[in-house]
């Protein structure tokens, strides 16, 4: 019975939408005078989608901002108390600092690796180029939680004398050292977690940058070669300036993703040992602490921080489209 219901749901869902738009189109044709028809038609088609997005995105966003000014159960107005908490609480400040580290390191390193692979693979024969690129791109197919589980087995620790199931410790003890609890050391465990994200995102950076590199007009490179430039000079002075906007777009896309990261931290350390990030803190506040106000203020913070990057991203994208 459930299977039939599911199938019917699909038929009704898809068929219903088709019929809905067909009806709207007919209404536009039948009811509106000629002049208005063509201006109205795009609105009629975009309208329902915009309305739904408005309802499911805008409304909760505004409600979240409202809740950020209220108490734990969203019953009383508390003014800027939650914002104050965000700024003064020591744990949250170190969390925000962790996010800053993530924002600085991950996009930069992902783009660097992606660019390096794109450039180097470009010089290979096509078959090898595709193999190399596929291997770098493969991790993108893995979910964050899946990747965290995999890397868990790289960083795993077992007591001295016990069989080492973690790759790093297996190598380390094989070389004669005592097993190190990599993720417990707060001076570098952030970077170990970032490595996971870089592993996931470098492929994405590589694909986009590779396309950008290939679209650099060959004449410019030839001209530089004739003028006597070395390959390295060609790369930095001819190629990179021409793909600058792609680099920025890739960088900001990864950056926006980095701001959302929580699953890696949750699975690997649970936020312990000084690795907590803001998005993970949101979950702690909402589900463990059941404090709607503080959870909301964290979300508002994330939105506010993301907005400038989104704006810049969209601007760059428009520029790119305009020059096509």
Partner 1 sequence: MLSNGRGMRWAAALGMAAIVATACGGDDGGAGTDGGTDGGGGQTVTLLHAIGGEAEQEALQQALDLFEQETGNTVEAEYTDDFATTLGIRIDGNNPPDVAFYPQPGALKGSVDSGAAVSFDEAGVETSDLAPGVLEAGTFDGTAYGVVVKQALSSLLWYKLPEFEDAGGSVPESWEDMMSVTDTIAGSGTTPWCIGIESGGATGWVATNWIEDAMLRLHGGPVYDQWTTGELAFDSPEVREAFELVGEIFFTEEYVLGGATGIINTPFGDAAAPMFQDPPACVMHRQAGFIEGNFEGELGTDYGLTLLPPVDGRGGAVFSGDLAAIHTDNAAAAELVSFLTTKEAQEAWHGHEGSGSLSVSSAFDSSVYPSESLAQQGELLAGVDLARFDGSDLMPSAVGGAAFFTELVAWLNGQDLDTTLQNIDAAWPSE
Residues in the site for partner 1, rule: CB under 8 A? 1-2, 4-5, 8-9, 11-12, 15-16, 18-19, 22, 25, 71-73, 156-162, 181, 183-184, 266-267, 270-273, 284, 287-291
Q: Residue 8 CB, nearest distance to partner 1 (Å)?
A: 5
* Residue 99, helix vs strand vs coil: helix
- CA 301 from centre of chain: 17
| Six-digit token string for 186 | 């707060």
Q: Residue 15 CB, nearest distance to partner 1 (Å)?
A: 5
Q: Residue 252 CB, nearest distance to partner 1 (Å)?
A: 30
Indicate the residue among 196 and 267 with the shorter CB distance to partner 1.
267
CA gap 159, 174 in Å, rounded: 14
* Residue 228, helix vs strand vs coil: coil
> What's the DSSP call for residue 30?
H
Indicate the residue among 156 and 198 with the shorter CB distance to partner 1.
156
Indicate the residue among 71 and 129 with the shorter CB distance to partner 1.
71
Secondary structure (H, E, C), 124-187: CCHHHHHHHHHHHHHHHHCCHHHHHHHHHHHHCCCCCCCCCCCHHHHHHHHCCCCCCCHHHCCC
Q: Residue 266 CB, nearest distance to partner 1 (Å)?
A: 5
Indicate the residue among 99 and 169 with the shorter CB distance to partner 1.
169
Indicate the residue among 240 and 274 with the shorter CB distance to partner 1.
274
Q: Residue 157 CB, nearest distance to partner 1 (Å)?
A: 4
> What's the DSSP call for residue 74?
S
């Amino acid at each position: 019975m459930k299977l039939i219901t599911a199938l019917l749901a699909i038929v009704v869902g898809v068929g219903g939408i088709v019929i809905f738009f067909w009806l709207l189109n007919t209404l536009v044709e039948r009811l509106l005078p000629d002049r208005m028809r063509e201006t109205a038609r795009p609105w009629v088609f975009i309208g329902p989608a915009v309305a739904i997005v408005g309802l499911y995105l805008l409304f909760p966003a505004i409600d979240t901002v409202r809740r950020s000014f209220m108490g734990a159960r969203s019953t009383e107005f508390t003014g800027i108390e939650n914002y104050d908490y965000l700024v003064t609480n020591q744990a949250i400040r170190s969390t925000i600092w962790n996010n800053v580290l993530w924002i600085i390191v991950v996009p930069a390193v992902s783009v660097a690796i992606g660019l390096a692979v794109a450039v180097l693979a470009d010089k290979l024969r096509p078959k090898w180029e595709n193999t190399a690129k596929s291997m770098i791109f493969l991790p993108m197919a893995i979910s964050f939680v899946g990747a965290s589980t995999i890397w868990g087995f790289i960083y795993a620790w077992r007591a001295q004398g016990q069989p080492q199931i973690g790759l790093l410790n297996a190598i380390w003890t094989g070389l004669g050292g005592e097993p190190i609890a990599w993720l417990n050391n707060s001076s570098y465990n952030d970077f170990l977690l970032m490595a996971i994200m870089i592993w996931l995102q470098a492929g994405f950076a590589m694909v986009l940058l590779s396309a950008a590199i290939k679209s650099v007009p060959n004449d410019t490179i030839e001209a530089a070669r004739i003028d006597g430039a070395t390959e390295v000079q060609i790369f930095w002075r001819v190629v990179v300036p021409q793909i600058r906007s792609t680099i920025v777009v890739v960088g900001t896309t990864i950056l926006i993703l980095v701001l959302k990261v929580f699953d890696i931290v949750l699975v690997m350390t649970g936020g312990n040992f000084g690795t907590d990030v803001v998005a993970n803190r949101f979950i702690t506040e909402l589900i463990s602490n059941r404090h709607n106000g503080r959870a909301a203020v964290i979300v508002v913070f994330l939105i506010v921080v993301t907005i400038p990057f989104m704006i810049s991203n969209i601007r760059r994208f428009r520029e790119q489209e305009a020059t096509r």
